[in-house]
Amino acid sequence: MPSTATFFIERVDAIKAQSLLPELAALLHACVHDGASIGFILPFGLEDSAHFWREKILPALGSGGRILFVARQGGRLAGAVQLVVDTPPNQPHRAEASKLLVDPACRRQGIGRALMRALEAEAGELGRSLITLDTRTGDKAEPLYAALGFSVAGVIPDYCRDPFLDRLDATTIMYKRIDAVRAL
């Protein structure tokens, strides 16, 4: 049964993320095993999840190429999302939302929405006026992104493997224009 405890959103740097590594690994692992199409397929163990955070995300947080937001609820890590700001020189106005994760036991409480709003506010503060993302076509997250004002740019067929099944799924590319607080 989902908890009704309130949650809070926090921006996490590389040092704090390192201390949260077991919780981040467990969150990613739970989401993948719940069917999230976020770049991984089964079999996918906790060590695979920890390796992803340790080798891919922590260095990007340390270099400033990514920003991590987490949601905490009742003393536990309930969600996370990343803002990718390491863009090519001709795209300093753009950022990417990546790996929105909400613990399956904590869904339908506004955590995903709150994480995305924190991400959007940060992007605006950084002078980014366009946020892009991709999501598996028909996935549970697609209506959330649409409700947050993201528009569909297009659908790419056969983009990724399903985490459970031996089939290829389409992905929907979405974008949202936002007000940048500072000029680039």
60-85 residue pLDDT tens: 999 999 999 999 999 899 999 999 99
3-25 residue pLDDT tens: 446 999 999 999 999 999 999 99
The burial of 179, by beta-carbon neighbours within 10 Å (0-12 exposed, 13-18 middle, 19 or more buried), is given as: exposed
Q: 102 phi and psi, to 5 degrees?
A: -130, 125
- For position 180, what pLDDT does the model report? 86
Distance of alpha carbon 172 from alpha carbon 105, whole angstroms: 26
pTM of this prediction exceeds 0.75: yes
Helix boundaries (H) for 53-160? 58-63, 111-125, 141-147
| H-run or E-run covering 26 | helix 21-33
Distance of alpha carbon 167 from alpha carbon 160, whole angstroms: 8
CB–CB of 83/95 below 8 Å?
A: yes
Across the range 110-131, mean pLDDT stands at: 98
Tokens of 119: 């991400």
- For position 1, what pLDDT does the model report? 31
Residue 105, Cβ neighbours under 10 Å: how many?
A: 13
User: Quick one: residue 23, left, alpha or beta (phi over 0 = left, psi -120 to 50 = alpha)?
Assistant: alpha
Domains of the chain (ranges, CATH numbers): 7-177 (3.40.630.30)
